[in-house]
A and B are shown apart, each in its own frame.
Chain A
Amino acid sequence: AQSVTQLDSHVSVSEGTPVLLRCNYSSSYSPSLFWYVQHPNKGLQLLLKYTSAATLVKGINGFEAEFKKSETSFHLTKPSAHMSDAAEYFCVVSDRGSSASKIIFGSGTRLSIRP
């Protein structure tokens, strides 16, 4: 069975400081992992994905995530936060090649940026 846990419901950082959004998963098979971003009243936009290639994945807007199988983690990071990064972030897991019903969304982490 699959599951995904976003460890923080809300993260607040100062502009220019690093961002860390934590995600742990469980999966019976080889997982595909994704991070999505959602700005208020908008749809979800794909930030980055891991599908079995390099374990360090680079995405858009300076975000990256590292797949750590031993820790079952896929944390999202960014070296320096920008005001425009304020949004909701979702970690998503699916068993590779599975159907729609097997894709699981985390409950989301709201990122706030302090000036």
Chain B
Amino acid sequence: DGGITQSPKYLFRKEGQNVTLSCEQNLNHDAMYWYRQDPGQGLRLIYYSQIVNDFQKGDIAEGYSVSREKKESFPLTVTSAQKNPTAFYLCASHQAGDTNYGYTFGSGTRLTVV
């Protein structure tokens, strides 16, 4: 079945450490996105990519980095510059240029700073 796979499901980070969250899709979607979700808030866009080797900052990109070397993969690195990284991270995808069909979401990664 087609879908989006996020891993790991739970991730713990020490202060000052970089960590990378994985997102893989087999839907042949052009566009992929990373969102951050905090309790009681909606989703906030971190980065998005509409084509391989290209990506744009969203509303809260500071302290994060991404790459898009392959169509099916869009990993997110949470760097030590992100001062409050504890949150639930969601990856999503859809066909670029057409939001009418909604997004497909992964099951999320919960990141906790210890």
Report which residue of B56, B92, B97, B103 has the largest number of chain A beta carbons within 10 angstroms of its beta carbon: B103
Choose among B43, B45, B50, B106 the residue with the greatest number of A CB atoms under 10 Å from its CB: B43
Give chain A's interface residues, CB within 8 Å of chain B: 9, 32, 34, 36, 41-46, 49, 51, 90, 92, 94, 96-103, 105-108
Q: Which B residues are CB-close (under 8 A) to A41?
A: 9, 88, 108, 110
**A97:B43 contact, CB within 8 angstroms:** no
Question: Is B102 among interface residues, defined by CB-CB distance under 8 A?
Answer: yes
Chain B positions within 8 Å of A94 at CB level: 99
Residues of A within 8 A of B43 (CB): 44, 90, 105
Contact (A108, B106) CB under 8 Å given A100-B31, A101-B48: no
**Bound Cα distance from A99 to B41, whole angstroms:** 22
When the two chains form their complex, are residues A100 and B99 in contact, meaning their CB atoms are under 8 A apart? Answer: yes
Which single residue of chain A is at the shortest CB-CB distance from B108?
A43
Would you call B90 an interface residue if the criterion is a C-beta within 8 Å of the partner chain's C-beta atoms?
yes
Q: Which residues from B are CB-within-8-Å of A34? A: 102
Chain A residue numbers with a CB within 8 Å of B31 are 100
One of B33, B92, B108 near A42 (C-beta < 8 A): B108
Query: Which chain B residue shows the least CB distance to A95?
Result: B99
Q: Of B56, B88, B99, B106, which is within 8 A of A96 by CB?
A: B99
- Which A residues are CB-close (under 8 A) to B4? 43
B90 near A101 with CB under 8 A, answer: no
What are 29 A-to-B residue pairs whose CB atoms are below 8 Å?
A: A36-B102, A36-B105, A43-B4, A43-B6, A43-B90, A43-B105, A43-B106, A43-B107, A43-B108, A44-B43, A44-B90, A44-B105, A45-B105, A49-B100, A51-B100, A90-B43, A96-B100, A99-B50, A100-B31, A100-B50, A100-B99, A105-B42, A105-B43, A106-B42, A107-B40, A107-B41, A107-B42, A108-B41, A108-B42
* Whole-angstrom CA separation of A74 from B100 in the bound complex: 16
